[in-house]
């Protein structure tokens, strides 16, 4: 069955209905990909290296011949894998630039009855789009607050109430502190983090405010694009307050049952900032399972760090909102009211 070569916009529209196949090598796929793609490499990492070297030394024809020599014995395996994974026989495929690898995969699958939609320009075209999207201007509003104020939970509740939300920590698989990677899946590469951020932004109305949690430029190993981060620093900011007990209780709920060795390693990463004595004391409290006490001591450091970080925020539009002892419903209503107040002021 003949393939259809399609532009990016049609490709992105079709992916809601059809599975995606990334024909690049394993390392390329692991580094970054179009979300929800399944990797069926035409050339594996070592083979791609061989073909690439040959292309540089002897040219395109020699590289193509070598590529077919390497992948030819696996043609039937690739077809079997595709038939097993995609019984509907209708798929979207791409490689790096929409060249030889996706063409070969398209030919192979077409031979066993697949209907193929191949991305013109390949992953490079998609990556160009996501690179540009995360560097555009967006109307943000920042949700800030000291550690343990439940910002992430509030963001999820805001989203359920129809507010526009980008959960950066969810995209980064990291909660943004030395403890933030414990129990989380592995983090995406910087490039893939930008792809995921772009995917979230695509879904939103650019004319309405977008809630984003206050973050450093680095969230674990993920790095926010400069343009986006600078917008965060200049956006209206709501700083929420909770009692110290409420904060300790929430942190205990989220971190108290985590692996003690992992908690100790997180504390050791803060040793230069905590000081040797305090580090030792916190570790002993973790070993003794004194949750409230080690959380209390650690909070002193994070509160100072938050206060310092807040000074870097450049906006003139800030609002301090005390949500102590407030229900979730009341908290959300107050946050929406403040957001609307910002809108009126800025429109004003």
Instruction: Check residue 62 and give its pLDDT.
Output: 87
Element (H, E) at 80: helix 75-85
- Alpha-carbon distance of 328 to 336, in angstroms, equals 12
Low-confidence ranges of the chain (pLDDT < 50): none
Instruction: Check residue 66 and give its pLDDT.
Output: 87
Nearest partner of 129 among 4, 11, 218, judged by Cα: 11
Nearest partner of 238 among 339, 347, 340, judged by Cα: 339
Instruction: Check residue 127 and give its pLDDT.
Output: 98
Instruction: Check residue 348 and give its pLDDT.
Output: 64
Is 95 a residue of the active site?
A: yes
Distances (CA, A) of 57 to 53, 60, 62, 65, 100: 6, 9, 9, 14, 18
- Single out the catalytic residue among 54, 91, 95, 105: 95
Instruction: Check residue 312 and give its pLDDT.
Output: 75
Q: Enumerate domains of the chain plus CATH numbers.
A: 4-131 (3.40.250.10), 135-347 (3.40.50)
Distances (CA, A) of 38 to 23, 149, 189, 250: 9, 38, 17, 38
Read off the pLDDT of residues 301-317 as tens digits, 9 standing for 90 and up: 888 888 877 777 776 78
Element (H, E) at 324: none
Cut 0.85: pTM above it: yes
Instruction: Check residue 3 and give its pLDDT.
Output: 92
Burial class (CB in 10 A: 0-12, 13-18, 19+), 261: exposed
Instruction: Check residue 245 and give its pLDDT.
Output: 95
Instruction: Check residue 257 and give its pLDDT.
Output: 86
């Amino acid at each position: 069955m003949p393939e259809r070569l399609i532009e990016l916009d049609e490709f992105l529209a079709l992916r809601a209905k059809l599975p995606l196949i990334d024909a690049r090598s394993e390392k390329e796929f692991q580094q970054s990909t179009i979300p929800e793609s399944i990797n069926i490499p035409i050339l594996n990492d070592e083979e791609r290296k061989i073909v690439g070297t040959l292309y540089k030394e002897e040219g395109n024809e020699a590289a193509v011949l070598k590529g077919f020599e390497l992948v030819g014995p696996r043609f039937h395996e690739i077809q079997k894998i595709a038939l097993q994974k995609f019984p509907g026989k209708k798929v979207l495929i791409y490689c790096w630039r929409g060249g030889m690898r996706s063409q070969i995969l398209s030919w192979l699958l077409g031979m066993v009855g697949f209907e193929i939609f191949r991305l013109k320009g390949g992953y490079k075209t998609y990556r160009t789009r996501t690179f540009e999207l995360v560097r555009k201007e967006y109307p943000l509003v920042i949700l800030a607050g000291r550690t343990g104020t439940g910002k992430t939970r509030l963001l999820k509740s805001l989203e359920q109430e129809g507010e526009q939300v980008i959960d950066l920590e969810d995209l980064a698989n990291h909660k943004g502190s030395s403890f933030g990677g414990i129990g989380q899946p592995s983090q995406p590469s910087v490039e893939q983090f930008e792809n995921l951020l772009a995917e979230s932004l695509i879904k939103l109305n650019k004319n309405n405010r977008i809630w984003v949690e206050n973050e450093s430029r680095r969230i674990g190993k993920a790095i926010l694009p400069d343009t986006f981060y600078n917008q965060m620093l200049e956006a209206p900011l709501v700083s929420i307050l909770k009692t110290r007990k409420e904060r300790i209780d929430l942190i205990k709920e989220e971190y108290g049952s985590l692996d003690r060795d992992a908690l100790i390693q997180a504390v050791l990463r803060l040793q230069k900032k905590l000081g040797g004595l305090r580090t030792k004391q916190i570790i002993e409290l973790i070993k003794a399972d004194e949750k409230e006490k080690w959380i209390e001591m650690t909070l002193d450091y994070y509160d100072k760090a938050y206060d310092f970080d807040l000074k870097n925020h450049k906006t003139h539009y800030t609002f301090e909102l005390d949500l102590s002892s407030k229900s979730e419903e009341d908290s959300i209503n107050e946050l929406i009211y403040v957001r609307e107040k910002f809108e009126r002021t800025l429109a004003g």
